[in-house]
Structure 1
Amino acid sequence: MKNLKYIILVFFAMCNYTNAQTTPISDSGFQWSVRAGYDMPSFKNNTPYIDYKAGPEFGTSLDYYWSWFGIGFDFDYINNGTKSTYPTANLFSSSGVPLTSFTIQEDKITRMFYGIGPNYRYLSPSKKFQTEFNTRIGLSTIKGGKVAVYETTTVPNQLLNFHAGYDLKSSLAAKAQLRFTYMFSQAFGVHAGAYYIKHFDGTELLDSTTGISTGYQKFTNSTATNNFNSLNGTFEKRSEPCNCDVSSIGVFAGVTLKLNSKPKEEECCTTCPIYALAVTARDKFTNELLANTDIAVKNLNGEVIKTGTTNSFGVVVFNDMLPNDYVIEGELYDVNMEGSTTSIGEFKPKETLQKEIIYGDRNFIITGRAFECNTTTPISGINVVLENKDLAVKKSTMTDVQGNFVLQLPATGTYQLYGRKDNYFSQIETVNGSDYNRDKNLFVKLEMCAEKVDCGKGLGLKNILFDLDKYEIKGSAKIELNRLVRFMLDNPSVKVEVGSHTDCRSSHAYNETLSQNRANASVDYVVSQGIDRSRITGKGYGETRLLNRCADGVDCSEAEHAINRRTEMKVICPE
């Protein structure tokens, strides 16, 4: 059902992104759609050597809408392939005879779905764009899918891999579908979308000949030096049919025809006055148009009449307005804006009244993303913190599923930006509002990264440098060790080892002692910052864990030796 949740979230996101959140102008009537698509199945029937392939989907829908709500009927035909993945190359019998002759049967699976259920849609004021969310409950058929692999070299028709397939005639099923439609005219348009189908009865066949539903011959895996598999004489089978999960997701595109639809505005007489209000959000200092600004139109009693969010051009349009005195308020990322007002006499029939609201805050807005370091993988749900300890200022927010976050950056002062999430070791970025010009920029785009911490895996601490033959902590090293302190404060249950490494120069005993002293110095600093000594240990590895070829007697450059002189931290795995 995870995919169904994603479809619902996308539907509501698309509805909220467009103009105003008011009841749209709608038309009632029948709508007929035909489509073709690509279906990706999931047959969780415990058949380790059988794959089920994506295949074509064809369908049709007949819907009737009263306004934003309707009812519809769907029919879908789906064809998925099967593929045996049982290894037949370099296969030997248990007595060592090579098996070279096989008979393979791979039947396709066909599914048909018939369902009925409610529709929900958002229709743009122009009626060109339509977003629909359809839910269906009904019956389905599932047929085919038999897979059989026989070898005929030693034993005639010895069964190696088998699944009996399906023959279901009335399986209860449900479907959720998200569809986006663009109408070229009142009657004809195109659409695209995605769906999720769940079959609640996925019972397999019991094969009358073999007496099993599925099974396969076990074999002994090949070794590193001998690339072959040998049958061990055991046939793993399941004699009871499994009512296993059957579902699929898919994408599609097609055409839509609207039948005998009648737009509501045509029901009004030609002399009916039409009023509209357009609100533009703009920055006071840069004159920049502001998208994603929340707008509310209130009457003089403070009651909310309309709400909406500005589009990428910084504009939201409210249709079907009644001429009146209104107060227009705006908010961008929790900061209130300088509003505006309307009077009843400003509204003109068949014209759109233009108003502006202004963002006058002198602070910057950080729009950033959080990634796993050295990758493009976003980190969702990480708590991003902006902090200035001297000014006792601390702000935080959580990233969304794409790793995006938004924070207010004061125009002056130096701040640290870092992330907090279990098992993540965050970089600490320094941000100074004085480095930017508020008269030229409102938004500051930043990226921050954090490393995924796995116990026992070493993570390099940068700039932990020592003078030759010394082990005193330098100022540049404290910045990186403070990052380790922050990680341990955010993860109070973890224990950490700080490991120090040297290059191969000097004796083994000297390097071991020097590296242990350096590791101890790093530990002492972390403890001095408030970390309990029982949670952190230091280990000097000397030259025992070189990262390159530069061992004793090997001629290496200074840069190659520098690679081995490093300090690492790793989380100690629980016993």
Structure 2
Amino acid sequence: MKNLLKLVCMLFVFVNTFSAQAQNLPLETNYLQISPRVGYDFPSYNNNTPYIDYNGGLELGLSVDYYWNWFGIGADFDYINNKPESVYPTADLFEFDKTTAINSFTLSEDKITRMFYGIGPDFQYRTPSGKFTAELNTRVGLASIKGGRTELIGTSTAFNVFPLNFHAGYKDSGVFSTKGQVRFTYFFNKNFGVNAGGYYMRHFDVEELNESGRSASYQPVSAALVSAEEPIMALDGHPLLREEPCDCDISSVGAFVGITYKFTKKENVCPVCKEDHFPHCCATCGCGVTVTAKDKFTGDTLADTDVVLADMSGNIVKTGTTNSYGVVVFSDVAENNYIIRGKLYDVALEESSISVDEFKDCKKDGAGIQKVILYGDLNFILKGNVVECNSDTAIQGVDVMLKDKVNVGQKNTLSDNDGNFIFHLKQASTFEISGKKDGYYSNKVEVSTNALNRNNTLFIDFEMCVDPCGKAIKLDNINFDLDKAIILPASIPDLQRVVRLMQDNPNITVEMSSHTDSQGSDSYNQSLSQRRADATVNYIISQGISRDRLIARGAGESELKNTKCANNVPCTDDEHRVNRRTEFKVVCF
């Protein structure tokens, strides 16, 4: 009973340690696991037979455990095989006369099998990830213990037979037994893992067999020295000692390895949020709500639409933005009545609603709730992008102006980090768009919605470009007669382009540059180019532009574009024409 009390105290300490740590951890709940194992058992047999060692042996076992959370209940089965080994001293053994040698021996040793069946509480500690589990399994049950008969008989040279050592063995069913086991498991996934551990087992008051009135007997031996070097073992002449059956305890410790398979309860997995919830999954996780934003007239889905889910008191419960497919998903929405609102580029969509009854079907099939909100505004949406002319470089912070030429109105906005901007355009109207930014300038561009049908089109994609100040721009159609500086009618459209640019941007100054080829003398070409530059400036002044905003510059042949056609280098007329050009350069202030 003392040993039993020690075991109970030890288990009590373990239980309190495990439960104190485990109670604060979120454990997977309500599952069954099965753990087969193989190990090695080290026994300790307490009986009245000396000269017998009980060696270790194979242990096979199976544990079945059901856990509610950190606490559970389990059952164990163990099969253990040990074998007794006689260690009776047989070397230099003589009869009590110390002269007649006993030199022939007959030995029989039967293995012992133990089978244990037990049930009891389980305690576990799990890491937050659930990968590693430490368990304490406590069991109380019954055992069946059989075998272990051991007999050693010696025969002397005088043919006298001596029973030397004997134990009748065991055959006892229904032995009260206890077991304490520690098991450590590593799970590779949600269900499968490997384990290792150890146990202590004790069988109480195990009854020995009684064979011919004896359960154990042995022949005492004594040692006498016949010389200083050689001891002689001799029977001491006493009758064979007999022992009464001993109701003594048997105990053992063991180590094992095994596998663990966990059976999780599918009914505790919510079909909506796909997670374990206890005890009522969908009352905890709610339902998924999928909202699709569409244009009411074209049926197109609308990306980048801001969506909110609000309760009937106006409290916002969920927020999100539709993806490229016009969809946003709200997970774990609790059962209630809701209003769905959306906004695209500051224009509100038509509201939709969810009733509490719609959650009932969601919980039955786990399909979620599907809703559509509609964009019903009659205006077009112009999605613009500002880039540097003749490149893909987006320009941020451009002040973009939209002027309605039919309905009289003006709007301004700034391009964002990617050069993007948005305007809402009325149907059947014409608009003028221009952009301004320090160091940049642009022309005015017209956009018309007269030919567009709102039932077919919502978005208008538009790209506008701005040029940096100081960039030389060639006017392709400014031509002069040979050795002349008179503006030709064909040049008027390009010069009008410069006039409009200066009218649209009253804070800029324009430098008009005229260039010649290398044919003729340097001084002649310089004089000719200056007269041509003056002619272009004079035309622009005649259109109402102040002389103070214009610079006439004759470059002659000093800035050849086709540099291989320099003085005294033979070139074709087409190669020389590259160098004959008129350019304008904007100077921003």
Q: TM-score, normalised by structure 1?
A: 0.46
Pick 1 or 2: higher relative contact order, CA cutoff 8 A, min separation 6: 1
Q: TM-score, normalised by structure 2?
A: 0.45
Greater Rg, structure 1 or structure 2?
Answer: 2
